[in-house]
Amino acid sequence: MSVSVANGIYPASESDRETNPGASLANYKIVHFGDVVYNSMRMWQGAVDASRYDGIVSPAYVVARPNSEVYARFFARLLRQPMLLKQYQQVSQGNSKDTQVLKFDDFASIGISMPASENEQRQIGGFFDRLDSLITLHQRKYCGVASWMLGVALVRLGSESDGAFGEMKHVLR
């Protein structure tokens, strides 16, 4: 599995990048459903998520298991808050952004505020999950409308220019 800023945790088979774990998986870390995994070199960008899968990750990732009072999906979302991203960058070690590493002990020393009740965490997490789904739905609708409008515009341009695309005088004033 991999962890990215844009996609959270996802199976390596869904990656555009070629992954080659090498001959041995001996040093790979085991991840269980609900574990919080972060990319130690990209944590300051928000490369963290709660796993929805059982699997393995590269030794470069940090795997942590939330205690029983913590709802992992809520916790992972909380960990991507801009205020915390700045703190990760401050406690990460390295000379430049591209070489900074957030070690687990430094990560664990950061104080956070969150609801004590797992039920409340689930409600908040569920709200944001539904909000994300709604945003995704509207983005898809927007992309569909934008594609349709582009198609109409191209057909119209084609008819106005006798089918010859590329006549900028019909597009620009």
Q: Looking at the structure, tell me whether residues 32 and 43 fall in a common domain.
A: yes
Q: What domain range includes position 95?
A: 1-114
Query: How many domains, the chain?
Result: 2
Burial class of residue 38 (count of CB atoms within 10 Å of its CB; 0-12, 13-18, 19+)? buried
| Across 60-86, average pLDDT | 88
Q: Looking at the structure, tell me whether residues 107 and 133 fall in a common domain.
A: no
Inform me whether the pLDDT recorded for 166 exceeds 80: no
Q: How far apart are CA 62 and CA 46, in angstroms?
A: 13
Q: Looking at the structure, tell me whether residues 123 and 139 fall in a common domain.
A: yes
Inform me whether the pLDDT recorded for 63 exceeds 90: yes
Q: Looking at the structure, tell me whether residues 132 and 152 fall in a common domain.
A: yes
The mean of the pLDDT values for the chain is: 82
Tokens of 121: 């965490």
| Across 36-60, average pLDDT | 91
Inform me whether the pLDDT recorded for 29 exceeds 90: yes
| CATH, residue 44 | 3.90.220
